[in-house]
Amino acid sequence: MKKNTKKLLLLSIMPITITGVLLSTQLGSANEKLDIRVESTNNSVDVSFNSVGNTIKVFKDEKIYKQLNVQTGLFKASKKNDVQLSNLGSDTPQRLKIKAYDGDKIVDEAVIETSTLRSEEDKKQYKDNPLKDSNLITIIRKNEVKLSWSGVPDDDQTYEVYRDKKIIGEVKGTEYVDNSVTANKKYIYEIIGKTKISEQEKKRKKAKLKQMKVPITKKDEENLYYVSNTLTKEVTTNGDYTVKSNKQKTISTSSASNTILGYGHLLRYQIFIPAVKVLNPSLSAYKWPKFTGDTRTGYDWFSNRYRTRADVYILFDKSKIIIKKDANYTVAYDWFGNVAYKKKANLSNVRLTARSFGSDSGGRYAKVGLTHSVFDPLVEPISGAPAVDYYYNAKVYENGAVTALGQHDQAPSHELWMIAYPGDADTKIHTYPNQGLHKLISVYPSVNWSYAP
């Protein structure tokens, strides 16, 4: 009798193994965390996650997309659960919220932001931009942001990660977790990869600069011999997602250069020189040694201090895309610091390369392409002046989601914004600081960038 009682006691405290599977008698802990994995193709997104709590709800556009009942107690499941979104279309933003419940109590929750990959057809518009295959998966909690990326070229797979223009990490691999964020705050992340040019190209550039009598400093070498590839993402850690319509019949807003009737979004690209005055970097320096700058260092889409501005209005109510271009005067100063001459740049080479409307699983969208090649109007002869070159292509949805990709020179400062139109709600798509006007010389490589939804 005592022997049988001892056996029963041992059985009651030992785990039970059936066909090699260990079954736990513990209930799911309220401190468990969702482990989320995401895979994308050019027309689908697959999300898998572990079993946490007893119910998991997946939301899309604030509506329940899928609900799963999780086994708890003695036979608690440990397998992955799957949510598949298919027939989505190429380069389409996707946003899901996952909540794990223990009864009515939320155990854990996270927001997933990503997009489908670009199709071969869509990649044609991006020329030879090495970021055309880039993709970013962002998993957002109120106190944590996890970034996982692909398609960002880097020679040794060691990336620099910036938050609000300050470096926060250097990682070997393609994943970074930032657990120093604050709830209900907006952050701008940049993932930068660099690739070195070939030795043959390096020799060619050195010879060209020597011929032009342009000295190379140690600091210049990184800008000269490496190609920079930047993937940018704006993150809000409040965990909420509400599509706000800005639909109105007519508008008159400070964000517009002129009053335009309609509603939609405004893409604003500005280039500016941060300094008050700059030395003339061209061979005509003997005539006018200095030019005016724009006396600002920060990025501000409101600012009227710029060299050129290109505004693209996307009007969804009229299915129209309109471009407005402007340039401030370029002012030359003589050797005594007096104003010698002023003139506005020729903007004929600022033009739309794409403008079309369509719809897919993300809703109505517009595709916009813009190219810019503008010379300093005061350099003589004009053939001696390097142009400021940039281009971008953007896919803008009516609800405010956007993907974009572009390329530009290393000078002067660049900024691209998207603004709700009408209204002042803005998205900072891309910014880049001036590296020096001598970097407009063609031997310096362009900067490649991509904005992830």
Burial 125-139 (b: 16+ CB within 10 A, else e): bbeebbbbebbbbbb
**pLDDT for the residue 438:** 82
Q: Which of 368, 438, 391 is nearest to 224 (CA)?
A: 438
Higher pLDDT, 411 or 19: 411
Which pLDDT score, from 0 to 100, does residue 68 have? 87
DSSP 147-181: EEEES---SSSEEEEEETTEEEEEEESSEEEE---
Q: How far is Cα 199 from Cα 287, in angstroms, rounded to an integer?
A: 38
Domain total of the chain: 3
283 pLDDT band, cuts 50/70/90, is low
Q: Which domain holds residue 218?
A: 118-241
The yes-or-no verdict on residue 431 having pLDDT over 50 is yes
| Average pLDDT of span 55-81 | 77
Q: Where among 182, 214, 241 does a domain terminate?
A: 241
Are 46 and 130 in the same domain? no
H/E element, 13: helix 2-13
- Same domain as 122, residue 73: no
Q: Stretch 341-347: mean pLDDT, rounded?
A: 93
43 and 182 share a domain? no
In a domain? residue 254: yes
- Among 69, 62, 68, smallest CA distance to 47 is for 68
The residue among 415, 413, 411, 414 whose CA lies nearest residue 437 is 411
Is residue 397 within 8 Å of 362, Cβ to Cβ? yes
How far is Cα 252 from Cα 257, in angstroms, rounded to an integer? 10
Q: Do 421 and 292 belong to one domain?
A: yes
Mean pLDDT calculated for residue range 98-116: 93
Q: Are residues 258 and 308 both part of a single domain? A: yes
> What is residue 26's predicted lDDT score, i.e. its pLDDT?
40
Quick one: pLDDT at residue 20?
35
For residue 99, pLDDT over 80 is answered with yes
| Residue 159, pLDDT above cutoff 90 | yes
Which of 53, 74, 107 marks a domain boundary? 107
- Asked if residue 4 is part of any domain, the answer here is no
Mean pLDDT of 433-450: 89
The pTM of the full predicted model, rounded to 2 decimals, is 0.85
Q: Token digits for 292?
A: 């005016």
- Residue 406's SS3 state is strand
What average pLDDT does range 88-109 have in this prediction?
Answer: 92
Angstrom CA distances, 154 to 174, 193, 415, stand at 10, 5, 24
Question: What's the confidence (pLDDT) of residue 230?
Answer: 96
Other C-beta atoms closer than 10 Å to the C-beta of 161 total 17
272 and 331 belong to one structural domain: yes
Q: Residue 11 falls within a domain, yes or no?
A: no
- A 10 A CB-CB count for 246 gives 18
